[in-house]
Structure 1
Amino acid sequence: MKQPEQITLDSDEFEALRLVDLLKMQQQHAAIQIGVSRQTLANVLKSARFKLMDCLTHGKALLMKNAPEEKL
């Protein structure tokens, strides 16, 4: 059986998705927490969301690159 194509989600993309989409944080606040501009955060989110939808739509494997440990 053929292995699915793999897409790697970088740790900054994961963190941006977590803060904005999971925790419902405003982009401006999430950008401050990560230490980037709001526009940079928006670009990271766009990339992460594209990768996620590419995997869901085309059955590709999503890999996490250096995923941060969950903060308690």
Structure 2
Amino acid sequence: MYFKPRGVSMSELEEILVEEDEIEALRLSDVDGLDQTSAAKRMKISQPTFARILASARNKLASAIVNGSAIRLGDSSKEKVSN
């Protein structure tokens, strides 16, 4: 799934991939409201690892929004769509 600025073709945009574990970390923390320790347990990872994944996801999304990049969610093995 992609999110991109309206009116700009994909060929003109830098693409930022948000990995599935980063999406899950965002969901658990920001949507479900879990603290990092509880969220880390749900993902079966350590709290410091959860914190790194969450920080990476937030950094990628902020960078994409500020710089007008395309955001690609999930599976990195899927083909890029042309638009």
TM-score, length basis structure 2: 0.75
Identity %: 36
Unmatched tracts of structure 2, length 5 or more: 1-8, 76-83
**What is the CA RMSD across the aligned residues, in angstroms?**
1.1
- TM (norm. structure 1) is 0.86
Counterpart in the other structure of 1:57: 66
Gapped regions of structure 1 (runs ≥ 5): 67-72
Deviations 1:2-57 (A, max 9, x none): 52110000000000000001111111000000010000000001100000000110
CA drift of 1:65 comes to 2.1
Large movers: runs of 4+ above 3 Å:
none
**1:5-16 counterparts in 2 under 5 A?**
5-16=14-25
Number of matched pairs? 66
